[in-house]
Amino acid sequence: MSKSINRKLIKTIFLSLFFTACAISVAAQRPQEQRQERQSARRERATRGAQTQTIFSEPLTDLEELDIKAGAVIVKNYTVVGTVSGFGGTATVTGYEFVDTQSGRKAYGIGVELEESERSERAALERLYVDYDEMDTLIKSLDYIIRIEKSTTMENFEAQYKTRSDLTVTTFNRTTGTLRAAVSSGFVGRIRIGMTLGNLADFRKLLIDAKTVLDKIK
């Protein structure tokens, strides 16, 4: 009887240790699987970015043209003007002066850096350039779409402005009647930062401040 009990006890202990080891193994695999998923997502995004670069191989702005130029020393002078936080990320505005030391050519404008929050499924960052000659139109267009209250002809509306680099600013109404905005980027693998109209007004103010910085050095 004692031997039978001992065998049952040993069997129970063995099964308990076996299931514990299995649970630990599964728990250990989860972080690894999550890392693999994140790495796979980054590789996929990099592939999409490479495909986009191939499709749109021509630089879209003067700043971008100097930024990617090979065979010359390019000096990049810049001032970080400020950052606006939105739903799911931030938008940072930086004023730039690029100088080609070989030819003496200069390019002025801003970079708008859109960064998704670390809490999002695919935290990512992208910078889009806006040349100086586009800035007045961009600022005026923002002023216009911020003031739109509703569609005059139909139930819903969306007002949108795009720069040459595809920096896109949008205002729209939700089903609740609330007005919202977004700043987005890209052709493929697009980043979109949601904003209130107040956030968008702050973003417009950063553009004005950046233009003031550039006006002082032009």
**176-213: pLDDT as tens digits:** 778 899 999 965 558 999 999 999 999 999 999 999 99
* CA contacts within 13 A on the Cβ side of 200: 29
Helix, strand, coil shares, percent, the chain, to 5: 45, 30, 25
Confidence tier at 42 by pLDDT (50, 70, 90): very low
Dihedral pair phi/psi, residue 168, rounded to 5°: -120, 130
Q: Could you give the CA distance from residue 93 to residue 199 in angstroms, rounded to a whole number? A: 13
pLDDT at residue 45, rounded to an integer:
47
Alpha-carbon dihedral sign for residues 74, 83, 91, 216 = negative
Confidence tier at 67 by pLDDT (50, 70, 90): very high
Locus of tokens 């109404």: 173
Q: Could you give the CA distance from residue 101 to residue 95 in angstroms, rounded to a whole number? A: 19
Confidence tier at 218 by pLDDT (50, 70, 90): confident
Alpha helices in the chain (DSSP H): 2-55, 62-67, 132-147, 197-215
